[in-house]
Structure 1
Amino acid sequence: MDPVIIVGAGPVGLTLALALARQDVPCVVLDEGPGKDEPRLARTVVLREDTTALMERLTGVPLGEIGTHWAGWRSMRRKQVMREVTFDDADEAPENLTNPAPLHIAQHVLTSALRTALAGEPLVKVAVDSRLDAIEQESSGVTVHTRGPKGTWWRGSYAIGCDGPRSTVRKLMDIRFPGRTAVERHAVAALRVELPWEGQALLHRMPPWRTSGPSGGEVTGRPLPEGVWRLDWLLPPGKDLVTPELLVTHVRETLAGWSDGPTPPYELLDTGVHTVHHRLARRWRVGRVFIAGDAAHCLGTLGTHGLDEGLRDADNLAWKLASAWHHRPHEGLLDSYQAERRAVVAARLRAADQALPLLRAGGGLRSYVPGSARGHDALLMDGHLGQGAIGAPGTYADSPLAPGRLEGEVPVDTPRGAPVIDVRVTAEDGSFVRLRDRLGRGALLVLLIAPGTGVWDRKHWATAGVMPRLAAAVTALPYPAELLVAESYPGAAAHSVLLVRPDGHLVTALSGVRPADLYSAAEAVLGGPVKAAEEAGARAAAGSR
């Protein structure tokens, strides 16, 4: 079968290629550039705990060694500290984390780690200097054309546009991309300096030294490795030019204000202007062509970071494409990519759009609503820290892949459709591993909660109790599955059985071994009964002809 064609070699496209290769799917990545990225310390990303774990699993690199886990967060208004947050130690066991630290990393550093991992992946070919200009598709595959020194035709099974907000794939597929332009603008500077809050990120609203210039009354400081900080100043509405002289003035003004004295020594490393748009593509799939990342959505206002959602797009789509590539395509499974991911991003955009008038309307409202300033700061903190409706990762509770009511279903601390907690598990070979280490392999995970098994060799309990019956039920599932055992899982009773998707989202939790419920849930997460899915695929293929 032909490889999957990925258009775009940014973090989302490279992540998708690695995720597919880990599931034995060959890929071609079309990179319109030279295959390397310009170092830009003013262009950084903040990854939450789930996307950090995804990147570490795919690259094999502990990102804390090339980025910075924040030690804490500080929100200030004028001279007053409104709230301080201390994050858990990044070395703490994942199941013990109550407040995991976000990771701040330069985008070119992250992309370099992904490229290095791909360099040793025989299933992925990266074609540099290859700019897409045509796509054709039929029921059996897609054909794309690239121009440039190595312009040629490429044949693939599927094509995915990860080519940014000006996506050529999206335009060729005639997909509308409605939304708003320049929702927010920020002046950005990366500098090496010593600040009073080592390792802590900071949001300072209405600083006492503010002027009518481009500081806009809101400054954010976020640490990077080696004493480097990224500073962002919210710009007032409009398109006023941010000159280097004006930016340096505000760097000095801000550093002096934070240091309560003269401007401390600093080294200016990089500058830029970051413009935030809010857009959401109408469709994320047209036949065998998909879009992901900034090609499908733009968000990032109020402290949120769009790359997080782009990486979740790649994680969601990879196992579904892998299933279609290795087995017959399940149309319901492929359609669920748009249904799940678009709904999650739309909810975040809606929450941000609703909060914007409150947070950016000026001081009038605060005069009439007691305590509103503190509430506004909490909303902004949600965006920056990945919490609440504005910032938290979405769940797939209403997914078309969610099973119906199951007789044996029981609640655990992880809601249906949410990412599972990374507990220690025993694999089928008897080794102890983390649950998330088993994700992304193209298999469902079936997790038995069996207290006491962690202190015994697997040979003593693998053929005892409920294990033989559960192993038989797992073997009978309509999709490859791996049986794991854990001492405990938050909120789960002994002998509970959890079914987990290949991307780490909980399908269901059952009380004991219930083969019929387990099979029904597995069948649902594949997009419906296998026979029905095959019939739907045949009808779709016939219609396209």
Structure 2
Amino acid sequence: MDPVIVVGAGPVGLALSLALAQQQVPSIVLDETTGKEEPRLARTVVLRPDTAAMVERLDCATLRDEGSRWIGWRSLRRKQEVRHVVLGDDDSPAPLHIPQHALTRGLRDAVAARDEITLVTESRVDSLEQDADGVTVHTRGPEAVWWRGSHVVGCDGARSTVRKLLGIRFPGRTAVERHAVAALRTELPWPDEALLHRSPPWRTGGEEITARPLPDDVWRLDWLLPPRSELVTPDALINRVRDTLAGWCGETPPYELIDTGVHTIHHRLARRWRVDRAFLAGDAAHLLGALGTGSLDEGLRDADNLAWKLAHVWHHGPSEALLDSYQAERRTSVAGRLRAADQVLPILRGGGALRTYLPGAARGHDILLTDGHLGQGPLGASPVYRHSPLSSGHVPEQVLVGTEAGAPVSDVRVTAPDGTVTRLRDRLGRGRLLVVLVAPGTGVWDRRHWQSAGVMPRLAGAVSALPARAELLVTESYPGASAHTVLLVRPDGHLVASFPGVRPAELYEAADAVRGGAPAAAPSGRTADVN
């Protein structure tokens, strides 16, 4: 079969190609740029624990070298500290803050090490054709080239050429928020902690300031700008920097201004994310980011969701239900995130004294903002695919555990059949289902005999008979699960179902639903439009 064509070599396009390569699917990445990233420390991204773990699985070395994991989060209002959250444990995992150019460079280095990926620079797409067997994409650059692929994925940003060629509308709101941004090297009173300061008491503070640490005493500072404000001049930005540092430190400490900019946030959502063999992902499909929500997080979740589905189809044959589920799951999830932000924005950004003095209002607003920045609640938590078309519906004998069906599983320690002990997240992204047995006492099992103990032989037989590739793992415990509970987990880490013991028929039914049923003999027609 022909390779998958990925249009766009930003973090989402590169991550998608790497995720496909890990599942033995070749790809061609078409990059209209020269492939050189300009270092910009005022342009950074925050990855939540699930997306940071995904990028780590893709062998992106720059996460360790140039990223910063916060040890805490502080919220201030006027002169008072409202909230302090300690980060880094299982209950409050730490986000990862990294310059976007460093993340992109790390992903490019990982791409260069994979034989399955062909990265072509200075290749701008100008036409796209589809037929029953694949897609044909034409690019112009130093040479005009026709490329043939099994599918095409537009990861080419907010002005996506792929989206325009497919005739997909991209409605939404412009300039939902604007921020003045500065990257500087200095010492602040909260080393390695991120900070949100609302209504700071100095004149140039504005309504809200955030400070996020990077390695080597570098900080990114963002000042929320009022709607329809004037351009931010260099002198005005310097005044903001000096006043803010003095407000936090008592006097302006020594600092080195490294980079500046203005960050404008838009909210948009493409009407369709799939047209036959063509898909959209990342900023080509959606724009968001107000109130601390993560646009790149959602783009990486798009890549994680789509990669295993394309890989299954590439290896095993067409499944319209499986490919349709990408739009059904991801578009629904991002639409919910946008709705939540749009509902909260008037509360947090609206004027008037009433909201300021309502009892508990300040604390409630702080919780909403913290959710967005730390990846919690409706503004930031990992998606739950409750109504996925891949759900098997009501499967008899299911039991409830601490994770609801469709939600990301907890990252417990697991043991593989060869005796390897690792984290559950480390087994994701390989294109196969995971079957996890909860078996207390696993740590003291004799590795030579553990596959013949208890229910293991029957469960191993049931796993080998599943209609899709699966790996059997064992864990000492799982939140809310009793001994001998069996969990079925998707390749992207979302729980499919949980059973009270070995239930071969029910396990098979759930696995068959996840793959979208048996592969079709030939591709069928178009997907339905979305209103």
Q: Fold conserved (TM > 0.5)?
A: yes
| Partners of 1:105 and 1:224 within 8 A in 2 | yes
- Is 1:75 the counterpart of 2:68? The answer is no
What are the equivalent positions in structure 2 for 1:446-485 lying under 5 Å apart? Answer: 446-485=435-474
Provide the C-alpha distance between the structure 2 equivalents of 1:23 and 1:539, rounded to a whole number of angstroms.
Answer: 25
| Partners of 2:7 and 2:152 within 8 A in 1 | yes
Cα RMSD of the aligned pairs, angstroms, is 1.5
Structure 1 counterpart of 2:233, from 239, 243, 253? 243
The aligned residue for residue 47 of structure 1 is: 47
Deviation of residue 373 (structure 1)? Answer: 1.9
Provide the C-alpha distance between the structure 1 equivalents of 2:414 and 2:357, rounded to a whole number of angstroms.
Answer: 54
Structure 2 counterpart of 1:540, from 521, 525, 531? 525
Deviation of residue 65 (structure 1)? Answer: 3.5
Give unmatched runs, 5+ long, in structure 2. none
The aligned residue for residue 128 of structure 1 is: 121
Amino acid at match of 2:123: S
SS in 2 for 1:459: coil
Amino acid at match of 2:520: E
| Partners of 1:5 and 1:29 within 8 A in 2 | yes
Deviation of residue 191 (structure 1)? Answer: 0.3
What are the equivalent positions in structure 2 for 1:118-197 lying under 5 Å apart? Answer: 118-197=111-190
Question: Relative to structure 2, which stretch is displaced further, 134-143 or 400-409?
Answer: 400-409
- Is 1:198 the counterpart of 2:191? The answer is yes
Question: Relative to structure 2, which stretch is displaced further, 395-404 or 1-10?
Answer: 395-404
C-alpha distance after superposition, 1:476-510 (max 9, x if no partner): 11111111111221211111111010111110110
Amino acid at match of 2:59: T
- Is 1:109 the counterpart of 2:102? The answer is yes
Provide the C-alpha distance between the structure 1 equivalents of 2:10 and 2:427, rounded to a whole number of angstroms.
Answer: 25
Provide the C-alpha distance between the structure 2 equivalents of 1:449 and 1:375, rounded to a whole number of angstroms.
Answer: 38
Provide the C-alpha distance between the structure 1 equivalents of 2:524 and 2:193, rounded to a whole number of angstroms.
Answer: 56
Give unmatched runs, 5+ long, in structure 1. 90-96
Deviation of residue 453 (structure 1)? Answer: 2.4
Provide the C-alpha distance between the structure 1 equivalents of 2:356 and 2:322, rounded to a whole number of angstroms.
Answer: 51
Provide the C-alpha distance between the structure 1 equivalents of 2:156 and 2:79, rounded to a whole number of angstroms.
Answer: 43
Structure 1 counterpart of 2:431, from 433, 442, 448? 442
The aligned residue for residue 283 of structure 1 is: 272
C-alpha distance after superposition, 1:75-134 (max 9, x if no partner): 111101111111125xxxxxxx11101111111111111111111100000000111111
Deviation of residue 150 (structure 1)? Answer: 3.0
Deviation of residue 461 (structure 1)? Answer: 2.2
Deviation of residue 216 (structure 1)? Answer: 2.9
The aligned residue for residue 29 of structure 2 is: 29
Percent of aligned pairs with the same residue? 68
- Is 1:225 the counterpart of 2:215? The answer is yes
| Partners of 2:197 and 2:208 within 8 A in 1 | yes
Deviation of residue 71 (structure 1)? Answer: 1.0
| Partners of 1:129 and 1:150 within 8 A in 2 | no
Deviation of residue 538 (structure 1)? Answer: 4.5
What are the equivalent positions in structure 2 for 1:312-323 lying under 5 Å apart? Answer: 312-323=301-312
Amino acid at match of 2:133: S
Provide the C-alpha distance between the structure 2 equivalents of 1:279 and 1:374, rounded to a whole number of angstroms.
Answer: 29
TM-score normalised by the chain length of structure 2: 0.97
Provide the C-alpha distance between the structure 1 equivalents of 2:62 and 2:494, rounded to a whole number of angstroms.
Answer: 23
SS in 1 for 2:452: coil
Provide the C-alpha distance between the structure 2 equivalents of 1:14 and 1:185, rounded to a whole number of angstroms.
Answer: 28
Q: Label 1:539 to 1:207 Cα distance change in 2 as closer, same or farther (>3 A).
A: closer
Amino acid at match of 1:454: G
Deviation of residue 74 (structure 1)? Answer: 0.7
C-alpha distance after superposition, 1:266-287 (max 9, x if no partner): 0000001000000001100000
Provide the C-alpha distance between the structure 2 equivalents of 1:452 and 1:259, rounded to a whole number of angstroms.
Answer: 52
C-alpha distance after superposition, 1:434-483 (max 9, x if no partner): 22221111111111111222212222221232111111111111111111
Deviation of residue 55 (structure 1)? Answer: 0.8
Deviation of residue 241 (structure 1)? Answer: 1.1
Provide the C-alpha distance between the structure 2 equivalents of 1:7 and 1:62, rounded to a whole number of angstroms.
Answer: 23
SS in 2 for 1:540: coil
Deviation of residue 60 (structure 1)? Answer: 5.2
Structure 1 counterpart of 2:386, from 397, 410, 433? 397
Question: Relative to structure 2, which stretch is displaced further, 148-157 or 363-372?
Answer: 363-372
Deviation of residue 363 (structure 1)? Answer: 3.4
Provide the C-alpha distance between the structure 1 equivalents of 2:86 and 2:420, rounded to a whole number of angstroms.
Answer: 34
Provide the C-alpha distance between the structure 2 equivalents of 1:470 and 1:388, rounded to a whole number of angstroms.
Answer: 36
Structure 1 counterpart of 2:244, from 251, 254, 259? 254
Structure 2 counterpart of 1:522, from 501, 511, 514? 511
Amino acid at match of 1:114: L
Question: Relative to structure 2, which stretch is displaced further, 460-469 or 79-88?
Answer: 460-469
Provide the C-alpha distance between the structure 1 equivalents of 2:202 and 2:27, rounded to a whole number of angstroms.
Answer: 53
Structure 2 counterpart of 1:509, from 494, 498, 509? 498
| Partners of 2:59 and 2:110 within 8 A in 1 | yes
Provide the C-alpha distance between the structure 2 equivalents of 1:222 and 1:76, rounded to a whole number of angstroms.
Answer: 14
Provide the C-alpha distance between the structure 2 equivalents of 1:520 and 1:299, rounded to a whole number of angstroms.
Answer: 37
Deviation of residue 36 (structure 1)? Answer: 2.2
| Corresponding residue pairs, total | 527
Provide the C-alpha distance between the structure 1 equivalents of 2:487 and 2:326, rounded to a whole number of angstroms.
Answer: 22
Provide the C-alpha distance between the structure 2 equivalents of 1:437 and 1:409, rounded to a whole number of angstroms.
Answer: 26
SS in 1 for 2:449: helix
- Is 1:330 the counterpart of 2:319? The answer is yes
| Partners of 2:132 and 2:523 within 8 A in 1 | no
SS in 1 for 2:296: helix
| Partners of 1:7 and 1:13 within 8 A in 2 | yes
Provide the C-alpha distance between the structure 2 equivalents of 1:383 and 1:157, rounded to a whole number of angstroms.
Answer: 37
Deviation of residue 239 (structure 1)? Answer: 5.0
SS in 2 for 1:113: helix
Amino acid at match of 1:255: L
Provide the C-alpha distance between the structure 1 equivalents of 2:218 and 2:144, rounded to a whole number of angstroms.
Answer: 41
Amino acid at match of 1:7: V
The aligned residue for residue 92 of structure 1 is: none
Amino acid at match of 1:38: E
Structure 2 counterpart of 1:428, from 417, 423, 435? 417
Provide the C-alpha distance between the structure 2 equivalents of 1:72 and 1:414, rounded to a whole number of angstroms.
Answer: 26
Question: Relative to structure 2, which stretch is displaced further, 446-455 or 227-236?
Answer: 446-455
SS in 1 for 2:520: helix
Provide the C-alpha distance between the structure 1 equivalents of 2:419 and 2:125, rounded to a whole number of angstroms.
Answer: 47
Question: Relative to structure 2, which stretch is displaced further, 449-458 or 38-47?
Answer: 449-458
Provide the C-alpha distance between the structure 2 equivalents of 1:534 and 1:203, rounded to a whole number of angstroms.
Answer: 52
SS in 2 for 1:333: helix
The aligned residue for residue 94 of structure 1 is: none
Deviation of residue 377 (structure 1)? Answer: 1.6
| Partners of 1:56 and 1:62 within 8 A in 2 | no
Question: Relative to structure 2, which stretch is displaced further, 484-493 or 428-437?
Answer: 428-437
| Partners of 2:401 and 2:481 within 8 A in 1 | yes
SS in 2 for 1:74: strand
